[in-house]
Every structure is written in C-alpha cells, then in structure tokens.
Amino acid sequence: FLHENKQPALYRVHEGPTPEKRTTLANYLKALGLNLSLSEEPTPAEFQAIAEATKDRPDALQIHTMLLRSMQQAIYTAQNAGHFGLAYDAYTHFTSPIRRYPDLLVHRAIRACLDGKRYTPHGMSWEALGTHCSMTERRADEATRDVEQWLKCWYMRDRVGEVFEGTVSGVAGFGIFVTLDDMNVDGLVHITE
C-alpha cells in the first residue's frame, strides 16, 4: 500500500546470506553428511527445503540455528530490498504502534496516505530513522539477552553439582557448549571436565 502510494516509509529488510556465509553453511551441511545443495544465489525455498528435510533429525535445532545464522540481520531502511526469511518482495512491521517506534512511523505514513497527504518525519530523514531504529533495536535485544542470561544464572546457582540431560550446541578448543534439554539454559563444559 505504501509502495503503491509512493509514500516513503521504513521497510523491514532481511537479505539472504553473504557469499562467505553461504559457503560456511554449505560446508557445515556437507560435514554432517547431508547431500543438500545450495545454489550460488540461494532462495528462501532452498532454505525451507533444508529445514523440512532435517526437521526430524536429533540435531535439527542446531541445523536450523545454522540456517538462521547464515542470513544477514534484518534492518530498518527506507530502501525496500525484500525480506529473505519470509520470502516477501516487500515487508514492514504493522503491529501495535506502541510496541515499536518504526511501527508508529508506518502507521503515520499509512494514515497520511488515507488522508491523501504525505508523511514526512520531523528532524531526520527516513534513512537516518532506519539506522537509528536498527541500532536501538539491537541495543534492546542485547539488554534482553543480558537479563535473560543473568536470570538463568540466578535460577541455576542452587543447582550446581546436579546432573541434567543436555544437547551439545557448540564445540570449541577449550570445551563444549551444552543446552539443558528441559530448561533452555546454555553453559560451557570446560575441556578439563
């Protein structure tokens, strides 16, 4: 609607994998012995096919996490470049305007179109607003993750020494990362253990 009315607004843009991330993902799938190929310019349908083909594997969560990590982070921008993850040519948030500032801007742009006007934000260009909103979203996400990690540590502090079922979620030279199956708590098992 905004595009058809030539109303500038913020799009939620999510681009596909960079060539480097595509190669990393292809090597990961190959190392798992999966005969699932990715084209030079992967499509959302290819990612969906991989997710579908691996959904019943015990390591499906790790594979699907790698699929997500191979994609670029979504950003807000005035330049519509589509949404790879959703396979949309154009996408923007359209939820409650009290939830996100970008949503409020979209609501204002739509209202202006409905009134036969153009909405121009005060003080900043659409592109500067997109950069600002992307940055504040990242900051809020990091704060949320920090609080969640702190709460998980606080919850687990009285359980040191107990035995839990878990799934290896990562491997490094200094140990393995494990996600506890029933609690979604991650931790490091140091190589000395």
Residues 6+ apart with CB under 8 A from 9: 2, 78, 92, 105, 106, 109, 119, 126
Rounded distance between C-alpha atoms, residue 146 and residue 63, angstroms: 25
Give the pLDDT confidence of 18-71 residue by residue, as tens digits: 999 999 999 999 988 888 878 888 999 999 999 999 999 988 888 998 898 899
pTM passes above 0.85: no
Measured between its terminal Cα atoms, the distance across the chain in Å is: 58
Give the pLDDT confidence of 96-134 residue by residue, as tens digits: 666 788 999 999 999 999 999 999 998 899 999 999 999
The tokens of 141 are what? 């996400």
Rounded distance between C-alpha atoms, residue 130 and residue 124, angstroms: 10
Nearest Cα to Cα of residue 75 among 22, 1, 150, 136? 136
